[in-house]
Amino acid sequence: MSYQDVRVLCGNCGSDATSIENPAPDDLVTCAGCGASDRFEDVLDSVNDHMLQEATAGIASALSTGFKRGGFDGFKPAKLAKKQFRWTSTVKLEV
């Protein structure tokens, strides 16, 4: 897996969150676009949840493609409910 700079994005409007140097859990992170704000700790939780969903969707999609190529055409990946996240990130996982 490769690492890159991570931008935190507002789940509401997609703008960048303003960055904080050495943030503490209680520091407020604010969206530069719509002004939404949350505690840094809660922002991390949301970004983490979002990444888990992206990873799960990526794995389901890779499985589905793999099964089809292997001749198992009927494989249906589990349907994932798309959640609305307050904060997301630019992290891309490669499966």
Q: Kindly tell me which of 64 and 86 has the beta carbon lying closer to Zn ion.
A: 86
Cα→Cα distances 15→19, 35, 52, 67, 76, Å: 12, 10, 21, 37, 34
Q: Kindly tell me which of 39 and 58 has the beta carbon lying closer to Zn ion.
A: 39
- Backbone phi and psi for residue 52, each to the nearest 5 degrees, phi listed first: -60, -40
User: Rule CB under 5 A: is residue 12 a binding residue for Zn ion?
Assistant: yes
Q: Kindly tell me which of 15 and 64 has the beta carbon lying closer to Zn ion.
A: 15
**Looking up tokens 């990130």, which residue turns up?**
89
**Looking up tokens 């960048």, which residue turns up?**
16
Residues 16-45 that bind Zn ion (CB under 5 A): 31, 33-34, 36
Q: Which residues bind Zn ion (CB under 5 A)?
A: 10, 12-13, 15, 31, 33-34, 36
